[in-house]
Amino acid sequence: MFKFFFFLLITTQCFAFDWQSHRGARGLYPENTIGAMMVGLEYPINTLEMDVVVTSDKKILVSHEPWMSDEICLDPKKKPVENKQHNISKMSLKDIQEFDCGSKAHPRFPNQKKVKEVKPELGKLLTATEKKIKALGKTINYSIEIKSTIQEEMQDFQPTADIFTDMVINTIKKHLTPERVMIQSFDWRVLRYLHHTYPQYKTVALIEEKYEPKSVLLKLGFTPTVFSPNYEDLTKEHVDFFHSKNILVIPWTVNDKESIKKLIEMKVDGIITDYPNLIETTAQKN
């Protein structure tokens, strides 16, 4: 387990820094599971981050891929799966939950706990996390990524982007009020549709490729709540540009204390990390 701790001084002059626990707590526990969210809530986070896809019976499933990943999943007979062999959009929730997506050793997260886990339905996960949050007396928000791409839509791994977005929002609104939710996506079709159809929800423009800040807004076509790039591509000039447009900057996915320190010095508005145990706030210090 990581033993690094970063101490962030919070004063009344500072913004509310947003510590986001990525896929629940991927560095510590099998990702995008109810258990991972519970682990994330043990730390001083502000936001639980997760990904969603759609099943054949129209359930919103918490999963990073719209297929059973060969990196993390075993089939019902405990055998490895082939990547993309099992299309989640063609599988029922019941069949999906016969797969074990926690016992297999993760090649990139050696300290992740190995335990049998299933991909949960979003509504069930939110019921569990809301119960835990209430018991803890915390205020925790959610950043939910709609895992949509043009290619996967064409290959029948998902509904069309607008229908997909409608389904996600219809599930979320049964459990959460809009002010506690950010919707993020690398598919900016989702964000444009969300902006026009559900303007009460905050939008997070994820980006993976290299970018020019001005071109981001031109391409997106509106001002998002948050711009979220790969932290390695972010510069202080980029942060200043987006701040000048009243856009928050929350980079992904930052897993070492030196990078966290550097980004905070650049005055980002939050950090997305697989390791919520890196976080240690000192709100009482002056």
Tens digit of each residue's pLDDT (9 = 90 or more) over 29-42: 999 999 999 999 99
Q: Where are the alpha helices (DSSP H) in 137-267?
A: 150-154, 161-172, 188-197, 213-220, 236-244, 257-265
pLDDT confidence of residue 15: 52
Q: Which residues contact 41 (CB under 8 A, 6 or more apart)?
A: 21, 48, 129, 132, 133, 136, 138, 140
pLDDT for position 2:
40
Which pLDDT score, from 0 to 100, does residue 4 have? 40
Give the count of beta carbons closer than 10 Å to the beta carbon of residue 219. 12
Contact 196, 218 (CB under 8 A): no
Which residue has tokens 């980079």?
A: 251
CA 220 and chain centroid, separation: 20
| Residue 10, φ and ψ in degrees, nearest 5 | -110, 125
As separate numbers, helices (DSSP H) first and strands (DSSP E) second, the chain gives 9, 11
Collapsed DSSP state (helix, strand, coil) of residue 121: strand
The whole-number pLDDT of residue 146 equals 99
Angle at 240 between CA 234 and CA 246, to 5 degrees: 110
Look-up of token digits 């997305």: 272
Where in the chain does DSSP place strands (E)?
6-8, 18-21, 47-54, 60-62, 141-146, 181-185, 202-207, 226-229, 248-249, 270-273, 279-281
Say which residues have a Cβ less than 8 Å from residue 216's Cβ, sequence separation at least 6.
Answer: 205, 207, 227
β-bridge partners, 48? 21, 142
Rounded Cα gap, residues 228 and 253, in angstroms: 10
User: Residue 92 is encoded by which pair of tokens?
Assistant: 């029922």
Phi, psi of 29 (to 5 degrees): -155, 150
Strand 202-207 relative to strand 181-185: parallel, antiparallel, unpaired?
A: parallel
Q: Which residues contact 13 (CB under 8 A, 6 or more apart)?
A: none
Q: Other CB atoms closer than 10 Å to residue 49's CB: what's the count?
A: 29
pLDDT below 70 — which residues of the chain?
1-15, 281-286
Q: Supply the pLDDT for residue 44.
A: 96
Give all domains of the chain, ordered by start, each with its CATH number. Answer: 6-67+120-281 (3.20.20.190)
| Euclidean distance between CA atoms 178 and 141, whole angstroms | 10
Task: Specify which residues 49 forms β-bridges with.
Answer: 143
